[in-house]
């Protein structure tokens, strides 16, 4: 089964992440699971930049769908730029996509992976999804 990334997306944030030696596997490149960690870090960086603290009031995002398309290998000590985009917003969820890029020899961005997640805002005390925080919906509505 092949997933397609959304064509419509609005830029939200950019994060730089340096690959650690321990991110690589026995094959000498970054293990595929780390790409999901990098995307998670980029999302948390974006939310922190908005002043949204995950876990406050027992609420946070949970991931209900995630995939990644791997286009080129990544190795230590490369630095990634992860661009974060929104493609869809609902009452309790948002669809976020990520472009993972490294600079090539000419300092031009080179897309090495792209990924997608559906995030649902969740109340862990009530054990159910709840509306997105107002600070988030206000910002996202202004981006459209």
pLDDT at 5 over 70: no
Global confidence as pTM? 0.90
Under the banding of pLDDT at 50, 70 and 90, the label for residue 144 is: low
d(C-alpha 65, C-alpha 127), whole Å: 18
pLDDT at 107 over 80: no
- What is the predicted pLDDT for the residue at 2? 63
Q: Which two tokens stand for residue 17?
A: 């992440």
- What is the predicted pLDDT for the residue at 75? 93
Q: What is the DSSP letter of 56?
A: G
Determine the average pLDDT of the residues in 122-138: 94
Domains and CATH numbers, the chain: 10-143 (3.10.129.10)
Dihedral class, residue 34 (left if φ above 0, else alpha if ψ from -120 to 50, else beta): alpha
d(C-alpha 123, C-alpha 133), whole Å: 11
Higher-confidence position of 54 and 115? 115
d(C-alpha 31, C-alpha 93), whole Å: 28
pLDDT at 1 over 60: no
Write the pLDDT tens digit of every residue in 24-82: 999 999 999 999 999 999 999 999 998 888 888 899 999 999 999 999 999 999 999 99
């Amino acid at each position: 089964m092949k997933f397609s990334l959304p064509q419509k997306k609005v830029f939200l944030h950019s994060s730089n992440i340096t690959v650690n030696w321990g991110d690589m596997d026995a094959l000498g490149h970054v293990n595929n699971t780390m790409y999901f960690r990098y995307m998670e870090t980029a999302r948390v960086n974006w939310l922190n930049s908005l002043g949204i603290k995950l876990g406050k009031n027992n609420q946070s995002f949970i991931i209900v769908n995630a995939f990644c398309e791997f286009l080129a290998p990544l190795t230590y000590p490369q630095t990634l730029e992860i661009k974060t985009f929104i493609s869809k917003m609902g009452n309790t969820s948002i669809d976020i996509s990520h472009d993972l890029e490294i600079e090539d020899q000419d300092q031009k961005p080179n897309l090495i992976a792209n990924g997608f997640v559906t995030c649902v805002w969740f109340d862990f005390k009530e054990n159910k999804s709840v509306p997105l925080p107002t600070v988030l919906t206000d910002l996202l509505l202004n981006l459209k």
